[in-house]
């Protein structure tokens, strides 16, 4: 088994949100694929944000492709001039007004969909968060802040009230981290 060789790349479109390209590739067995579609997106960050009282800071917003409202953890794309840690701190503050004096803890780094996308998502845990300002939303964002007990999330997942995959995986990563660190 070997990596594919890219013979030619052509961009179908490029936007501030991502690009779509088509690659002509030679496979390891010598065969070629003329149009392999690849979505190029910036990397994303998200965070489980917990207050001192073990409340989780969530946002609820309408997601047009899903045609519904979703309860989610703060998240967003990383800007060109910032680290992943700087990106999540900025996103949390913008979407919620919450900050923490503690450094975010990296829980995991995962490819979103390596079959068709180039980006990854980095999941963080932020402890002892407190609200220091109001939300500072982008022009087209309409986000409602929700604060609930962390231990209620699993029931919301089971009841299909939380269906966003990155939030579900982040919750279980955080739960696992917390249970390991409570034992020590």
Tell me the β-bridge partners of 69.
62
Residue 60 pLDDT more than 60?
A: yes
Query: Does the structure show a pLDDT above 60 at 184?
Result: no
Counting beta carbons within 10 angstroms of the beta carbon of residue 169, is it exposed (0 to 12), middle (13 to 18) or buried (19 or more)? middle
Distance of CA 43 to the CA centre of its chain: 8
Edge-to-edge strand ranges of the sheet holding 5-14? 5-14, 19-26, 32-40
pLDDT at 182: 78
| pLDDT digit string, tens, across residues 91-117 | 999 999 999 999 999 999 999 999 999
**What confidence tens digit (pLDDT) does each residue in 135-149 have?**
888 788 888 899 999
Report all structural domains of the chain as residue ranges with CATH numbers, in order of start.
5-40 (no CATH), 44-183 (3.90.79.10)
Tell me the pTM. 0.92
The sign of the dihedral angle between the CA atoms of 134, 136, 142, 147 is negative
């Amino acid at each position: 088994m070997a990596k594919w060789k890219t013979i030619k790349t052509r961009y179908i479109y490029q936007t501030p949100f991502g690009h779509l390209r088509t690659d002509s590739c030679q496979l390891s067995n010598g065969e070629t694929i003329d149009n392999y579609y690849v979505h190029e997106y910036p990397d994303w960050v998200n965070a489980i944000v917990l207050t001192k009282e073990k409340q989780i800071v969530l946002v609820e917003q309408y997601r047009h492709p899903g045609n519904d409202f979703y309860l989610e953890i703060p998240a967003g794309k990383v800007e060109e001039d910032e680290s992943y840690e700087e990106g999540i701190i900025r996103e949390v503050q913008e979407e919620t007004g919450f900050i923490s004096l503690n450094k975010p803890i990296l829980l995991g780094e995962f490819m979103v969909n390596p079959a068709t996308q180039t980006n990854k998502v980095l999941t963080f845990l932020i402890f002892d968060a407190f609200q220091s300002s109001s939300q500072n939303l982008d022009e087209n964002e309409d986000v409602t802040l929700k604060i609930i007990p962390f231990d209620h999330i699993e029931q919301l997942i089971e009841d299909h009230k939380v269906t966003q995959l990155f939030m579900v995986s982040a919750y279980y990563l955080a739960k696992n981290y917390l249970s390991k660190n409570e034992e020590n």
